[in-house]
Amino acid sequence: MKRSLILAVLLVPTVGAVVASKNLSRGAHANDAVSDFRREREPTTIVQIPRGMNGEFSVHAKINGIAAPMVVDTGATSIVLTYETAKAAGFPLELLDYNVDVQTAGGRTKAARLWLDRIVIGKLVERSVPALVVPRGQMKTNLLGMSFLDRLESFEVRADQLMLHGFQEPPVLHISRRSTVLR
């Protein structure tokens, strides 16, 4: 009886460890499958932007669904929106706190912090992107700064073309009571 009890005490942890290691390897396989799925569903996307006559790279972005022409500015730490663009995108400008010191081409001013729900440039989509907005009349052009560019895989200039390397928006999983749909 004592031998059986000692044998049981020694075998239970061993069996538990074997079962746990099998579950861990299944989990690792599941992780690999999810990673493979993500790589298949999010191919690298390249958006090419030609250099304009004035030497700048201008993009046609959509901010929260609203068209917003922008100039790429790697010297800007953030996306900076004009008052007019931010208003068109539906931000409550009168409720924002203009407490961030910024230096613009027109001089020093204060800006307010906000978050863009979604910004789209070509097939590149980024969500929850920090940005700034300046008071009315302080800037004439929206700036696409590093708060967007840092999210990309990379960006480079080749022969008067700015190449933005990023990922397509991942598919959205829609779950209802009747079915699960990947869109």
pTM of the shown model: 0.69
For the cut 70, the answer to whether the pLDDT of residue 86 exceeds it is yes
Question: In the predicted model, what is the mean pLDDT of residues 47-66?
Answer: 95
For the cut 50, the answer to whether the pLDDT of residue 165 exceeds it is yes
For the cut 50, the answer to whether the pLDDT of residue 71 exceeds it is yes
For the cut 80, the answer to whether the pLDDT of residue 20 exceeds it is no
Q: How many other CB atoms sit within 10 Å of the CB of residue 31?
A: 10
> What SS3 class is residue 55?
coil
Of the listed ranges 46-55, 102-111, 113-122, the one predicted with least confidence:
102-111
CA angle 134, 140, 144 (to 5 degrees): 70
> What SS3 class is residue 34?
helix
d(CA 82, CA 138): 8
